């Protein structure tokens, strides 16, 4: 039986690369949207989903935190992928022939120095892998795509220039989602617990809710807020902490959190990726 992992995007997308790097033996299933990737797992057509949550250059991925609590899935792992951007063109094309580069607007913005140096015009495409496919179909040696090497392999394009991004540390963090939770202790770099919560409508509720983590020495490595249901008064918080819910210090911190919250939901307990930090 072939084990599958779903991702959002076309074959050759950076999410596809994440699947390939983290689970090379799994079949990667492309999906049109994040919701489609989640639904593919819930229908049993894939065992896991690979979802991007944040990028070191551009911050969190829009809308993904809204989907996590409602997905019916659980975080079982995380993966970090270096976003190396490459200039891909038709076989036989040379760098001095390239006049236009097509890609997602985010990638175009990350390669300004290279594109300016070679006087290459930026053309906005729907996404990275789709831009590579478009260049293969266009069959114009003066046009190139900015995408992953995996996209070049899939669409028969050559790499004219590797790793042309302006920032050399551009990294995307992905969460691996499963229909079943796995709270077992595993990995060699400690555990992470992710959860969402809503504070009670009382003065200084968030300050008091966070106090338990400080007094118990629990390191909170991420805290983000976002509106619930379009309301300006109903705010939900997403948090990552170091540790396992069974750790005495984490237990005490979560118990104190309950006093000042109207809801808490653990999204996943999983090993810290070796590339974290």
Catalytic residues, by residue number, are: 172, 174
Residue 7 CA to residue 49 CA, distance in Å, equals 6
Residue 231 CA to residue 210 CA, distance in Å, equals 23
Residue 98 CA to residue 153 CA, distance in Å, equals 19
Q: Are strands 86-89 and 158-161 parallel, antiparallel or unpaired?
A: antiparallel
212: part of which helix (H) or strand (E)?
A: helix 205-215
> Do 191 and 270 form a contact (C-beta atoms < 8 A)?
yes
| 58 φ/ψ angles, rounded to the nearest 5 degrees | -110, 5
The label of the residue with tokens 């930026």 reads 122
Residue 63 DSSP label: T
Residue 145 CA to residue 210 CA, distance in Å, equals 46
> Do 270 and 226 form a contact (C-beta atoms < 8 A)?
no
Residue 31 CA to residue 190 CA, distance in Å, equals 32
């Amino acid at each position: 039986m072939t084990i599958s992992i779903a991702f959002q995007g076309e074959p050759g997308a950076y999410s596809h690369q994440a699947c390939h790097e983290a689970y090379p033996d799994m079949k990667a299933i492309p999906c049109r949207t994040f919701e489609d990737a989640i639904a593919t797992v819930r229908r049993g057509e894939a065992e896991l989903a690979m979802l991007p949550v944040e990028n070191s250059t551009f911050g969190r991925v829009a809308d993904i935190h809204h989907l996590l609590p409602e997905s019916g899935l659980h975080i079982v792992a995380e993966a970090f992928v270096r976003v190396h951007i490459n200039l891909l063109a038709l076989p036989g094309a040379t760098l001095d022939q390239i006049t236009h580069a097509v890609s997602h607007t985010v990638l175009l913005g990350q390669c300004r120095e290279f594109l300016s140096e070679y006087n290459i015009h930026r053309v906005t495409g729907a996404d990275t892998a789709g831009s590579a496919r478009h260049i293969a179909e266009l069959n114009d040696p003066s046009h190139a795509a900015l995408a992953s090497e995996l996209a070049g392999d899939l669409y028969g394009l050559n790499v004219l220039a590797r790793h042309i991004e302006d920032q050399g540390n551009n990294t995307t963090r992905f969460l691996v989602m499963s229909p079943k939770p796995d709270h077992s202790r595993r990995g060699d770099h400690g555990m992470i617990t992710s959860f969402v919560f809503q504070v009670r409508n009382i003065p200084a509720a968030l300050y008091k809710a966070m106090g338990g983590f400080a007094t118990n020495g629990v390191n909170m490595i991420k805290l983000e807020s976002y509106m619930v249901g379009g309301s300006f008064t109903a705010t939900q918080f997403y948090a990552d902490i170091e540790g396992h819910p069974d750790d005495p210090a984490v237990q005490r911190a979560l118990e104190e959190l309950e006093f000042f919250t109207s809801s808490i939901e653990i999204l996943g307990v999983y090993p810290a990726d070796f590339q974290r930090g």
